[in-house]
Amino acid sequence: MKRGLPQDPMLAQLVQMARQHQISRRTALAGVGGTAAALSLASCAAAEETVVAATDLSDSEKVLTWHNWAAYMDEDDDGNYPTLLRFQEQSGITVDYRIEIDDNDTWYAKVKDQLELGQDIGADVACPTTWMAARLRGRGYLQAMDNANMPNKVANLAPGYQGNPDDPDRVYSIPWQGGFAGIGYNKQAYKEATGKDEPATMSDLWAAELKGRVGLLSEMRDTVGLVLLSQGIDIASADSLTEDAFNAALEEIKTQIGSGQIYNVRGNSYLDDLTTGNIIAATAWSGDITVINYESGTDEDPEPFGFVFPESGATLWADEFVVPIGATHKRNVEALIEYYYDPVNAAELALWVNYITPVVGAKEIAAEADPELAENQLIFPNADTLAKSHSFRSLTGPEEQRFSAAWQNLLLGS
């Protein structure tokens, strides 16, 4: 808030990450890959054509559709989302909340044709990761939001997220939540299989005792990033994270897939494999483990799953609200963002999903509700925790095309 609350140490690192991932229009059009290995020249030419934002029907239609990731909303025993229900009651806006993003590339592959034509993708708001939001912004696929309709966002957006050179007023992408990628595991099954309490390194996932019981995230920057870190690569540095280094990490992953060590490579649906017992351990997103513990835990074993940073470090990321160019309820989306930038609502959400909140003042409110959880390093990380995390550097357009093509070829071969 404007009251001068102390700046959390996470902000400096998060804004560095956000700025790293801003892609200029020229860079984006130079060849950003999606699920397909490369974009055709015709597609690039189409992307350069000006598309016009859809007419906003919010005054007459009190609805919105939201595309988000799994395990990203507070949920009660009946499967309802308490904070979202309260927003609907207070605003009169009906929200169709859909879990549509399994990973950035597969989601983009589903919507890119409509985006190129300026058509409605079936969502008024979505929450892709920073680098994908930058791609959408660079191609002219997003609508600018109106800060006048979001005074909470203006007042409470953490200072580190402000001052973005490509979006100084933060009207094209607004942070939703942030988090870490590390190793998630079934505590009992891992102990029984390996004799160890928890994995400590990425190489622990390659143990013979876990053959065929390991999952990998299909999000390139997280899975490849974790392997690169384990190989001593500084993933934030262009001098260290070279194409040769990237390819060496891919070779390690390819070897593990080829040997049968890896059960599968998936997006957010990896949680199904963890909870059903198909896999024992996986590259995982921090808050997800809290959610499946809530869903699967018992009185005797309230936290059957664990999450750890590998000794070589975790990756750090953020997901952001964006309004697609063809969306017809932008003003309703602004009301939604305004609601979640109230520190009371942000604190309630953060304490449930266990991801990093971008809302200043939320930690202080969370501490009043649950002092112990407010010290949780996965929600409110201090400088020591952030020092163990790293953000994948910005890629040039040609690099993005080559890296994505190589990653997709590996996945198709798996």
Question: What pLDDT does 294 receive?
Answer: 86
- Pairing state of beta strands 63-68 and 125-126? parallel
Mean pLDDT of 235-258: 98
* pLDDT at 77 exceeding the cut of 90: no
* pLDDT at 27 exceeding the cut of 50: no
Question: What pLDDT does 50 receive?
Answer: 76
* pLDDT at 14 exceeding the cut of 60: no
Instruction: Report the percentage of the chain scoring pLDDT > 70.
Output: 88
Question: What pLDDT does 414 receive?
Answer: 62
Can you tell me which residue has the tokens 């942070």? 175
DSSP string, 334-350: HHHHHHHTSHHHHHHHH
Instruction: Select the more confidently predicted residue: 296 or 334.
Output: 334
When mean pLDDT is compared over 77-91, 157-171, 379-393, the highest value belongs to 77-91
pLDDT digits (tens, 9 = 90+) for 355-372: 999 999 999 999 999 998
Two structure tokens written together for 403? 């890296």
Strand (E) or helix (H) holding 411: helix 397-413
Mean pLDDT of 189-201: 98
Residue 147 carries which DSSP code? Answer: G
Q: Please state, in angstroms and rounded to a whole number, the distance separating the CA atoms of residues 15 and 159.
A: 9
Q: Could you tell me if 56 and 328 are in contact, meaning their C-beta atoms sit under 8 angstroms apart?
A: yes
pLDDT digits (tens, 9 = 90+) for 126-165: 999 999 999 999 999 999 999 999 999 999 998 877 867 7
The residues that bridge with 174 in the sheet, in sequence order, are 321
Q: Could you tell me if 348 and 149 are in contact, meaning their C-beta atoms sit under 8 angstroms apart?
A: no
Per DSSP, the three-state class of 181 is strand
How many secondary structure helices (H) and strands (E) does the chain include?
A: 17, 10
CA distance readout (Å), 382 to 101, 285, 360, 377: 29, 18, 15, 7
pLDDT band at 237 (very low <50, low <70, confident <90, very high): very high
Instruction: Select the more confidently predicted residue: 211 or 8.
Output: 211
Q: Please state, in angstroms and rounded to a whole number, the distance separating the CA atoms of residues 297 and 202.
A: 26
* pLDDT at 46 exceeding the cut of 70: no
- Closest by CA to 333, choosing from 113, 79, 143, is 143
Question: What pLDDT does 304 receive?
Answer: 98
Can you tell me which residue has the tokens 């483990």? 289
Q: Please state, in angstroms and rounded to a whole number, the distance separating the CA atoms of residues 24 and 30.
A: 10
Two structure tokens written together for 41? 């020249």
Two structure tokens written together for 383? 């400088």
> What does pTM read for this prediction?
0.82
Mean pLDDT of 257-266: 97
| Weakest mean pLDDT among 122-131, 221-230, 392-401 | 392-401
Question: What pLDDT does 56 receive?
Answer: 99
Mean pLDDT of 175-203: 98
Q: Could you tell me if 241 and 235 are in contact, meaning their C-beta atoms sit under 8 angstroms apart?
A: yes
pLDDT digits (tens, 9 = 90+) for 271-305: 999 999 999 999 999 999 988 998 899 999 999 99
Mean pLDDT of 36-54: 54
- Domains of the chain, earliest start first: 10-27+50-173+322-341 (3.40.190.10), 179-316+409-413 (3.40.190.10)
The amino acid present at 106, given as its one-letter code, is: T
Instruction: Report the percentage of the chain scoring pLDDT > 90.
Output: 76
When mean pLDDT is compared over 19-23, 204-208, 268-272, the highest value belongs to 204-208
pLDDT band at 251 (very low <50, low <70, confident <90, very high): very high
- Closest by CA to 174, choosing from 322, 35, 19, 314, is 322
